Homo-oligomer: A and B are copies of this chain.
Amino acid sequence: MISLERVRVGIMKCGNIGTAPVLELLLDELADREDINVRTVTTGSKMVAEAVEDALPKMFEFNPDFLIFISPNPAVQGPARARQVFLEKKIPSIFISDSPGKRLKEEFEKSGFGYIIIMGDPLIGARKEFLDPTEMAIFNANIIKVLAITGVFKIIYQEIDRLIHGYKVGLNPQLPRLIIDTDEVREHSDFQNPYAKAKAMAAYELTKRIAEINVRACFMEKEREKYIPLVACAHEIAQVAARLAEEAREIEKYSDALVRRPHSKDGTPKVKDKLMLPPMSDEEILKKWLK
C-alpha cells in the first residue's frame, strides 16, 4: 500500500547527462524506502519544447511535492519551456544540469528555482563517425563511475534527501543552490586517505577537461580529420578518469575505510566504514538538516 504521507518526488529527464540515468535510483538504492514515491518521465534523448510540453502534464497529475528537471544545457528550448510552466504552476523545482547551466545561475535564483550544476558531467562526443549506442553507453558508464566515486552523486542525493526530510517534518526547506566543482569534491567526499582524495579530484578534473574538448569537437571543428581524433581523445580521457576514480576507491578498501551511506527504510541517513559492521544512524547529517 502506498501511504498518504510519502513525499512525492517528480523527476523530468530531458536529453541526457551522466547523472540522469541513475538519478532516481540514488534515492532508493535498496528499493525498500517507505517515505517516498518517485515518478520519472523522460522524453528520450530529445530536448525539444514540444516533447517537454507534451510530457509535463503527466508529471503534474502525479502531484509531486517537488520537481527535479534534469537535462544538459538548460538554456535551450525544452528546459526553457519547462521553466515557464513551473513558474506558472508554482511548484518547488530544481534544475540539475551540466556546466553550461552555470550561466543561468542568476535566472534560477531570481525565479526561485533550486539548481545543482555539475561542472564535471561532460558533453558526450556526439559525432556520427564516432558515437554509436555502444560507445554512448560506455561513455555514460565511465562518467557514472567517476561521479559516484568522487562523491558527486552523494552531494546530489543528500541535497534531495534534505528536501524530502524537510517536507516530511513539515518544514519549508530551502531549495539547493549548488555548483559542484573540484572544491566540492575536496570538501564533501568521504575519502579518509588524502591520496585517494587527490586521485578522485584528479578524476573529476579530467571529466571537466572532457567537456571542454567535446564542446570544441562537436560545435567548433568542421573537418572530420580534426573532430574525430578529438572526440576519440575525449572518450579515452573518460576511460582513464574512470580507472583513476576506481583506484581512489580501492585505496579506501585497502585499509577497510570505505565509507558507505545506505538509506534506511524510513529514509533516515545511515553511515558506516568497516565492511563487516552494520551501518549506524548518521546523526551528524540529521542535525545539519534541521539547522
A residues touching B (Cβ–Cβ < 8 Å)? 1-2, 9, 11, 13, 15-16, 21-22, 24-31, 33, 36-48, 50-51, 54-55, 58, 61-62, 126, 128-138, 140-142, 144-145, 147-149, 151, 153-154, 157, 182-183, 186, 193-195, 197-199, 201-202, 205-206, 209, 213, 224-226, 228-230, 232-234, 236-237, 239-240, 242, 244, 246, 249, 251, 253-256, 258, 260-264, 270, 272, 274-279
Are A28 and B55 touching (Cβ within 8 A)?
A: no
A9 partner residues in chain B, CB cutoff 8 A: 44
- List residues of chain B with CB within 8 A of the CB of A44: 9, 24-25, 27-28, 31, 36-40
Q: Of the candidates B31, B145, B198, B264, which one forms a contact with A47 in the assembled complex, judged by CB atoms under 8 Å apart?
A: B31
Of the candidates B43, B153, B279, which one forms a contact with A137 in the assembled complex, judged by CB atoms under 8 Å apart?
B153
Chain B residues positioned under 8 Å from A21 (CB to CB):
21-22, 25, 140
B50:A2 contact, CB within 8 angstroms? yes
The answer on a CB contact under 8 Å between B262 and A132 is yes
Q: Which 5 A-B pairs have the closest CB atoms?
A: A38-B44, A21-B21, A198-B232, A31-B45, A137-B148
Given contacts A26-B137, A61-B58, contact A194 B276 (CB under 8 A): yes
* Contact among B38, B206, B275 for A209, CB-based, below 8 A: B206
Minimum C-beta distance from A217 to chain B (A)? 11
| CB atoms of B276 and A26 under 8 A apart | no
Taken together as a complex, chains A and B put the C-alpha atoms of A261 and B202 apart, in Å, by 24
A261, closest chain B residue (CB)? B132
Residues on the B chain within 8 Å of A205, using CB = 209, 213, 233, 237
**Which residues in B have their C-beta under 8 angstroms from that of A264?**
128
- Closest approach, in angstroms, between the C-beta of A45 and any C-beta of chain B? 4
A148 to chain B, nearest CB (A): 4
Contact in complex: A37, B51 (CB < 8 Å):
yes
Q: Is the CB of A24 within 8 A of B1?
A: no
A131 pairs with B186, CB closer than 8 A: no
Q: How far is the CB of A185 from chain B (nearest CB, A)?
A: 9
- Told that A31-B44, A41-B58 touch, could you supply 8 new A-B pairs with CB distance under 8 A? A26-B137, A28-B46, A38-B44, A132-B263, A140-B144, A141-B142, A209-B209, A224-B278
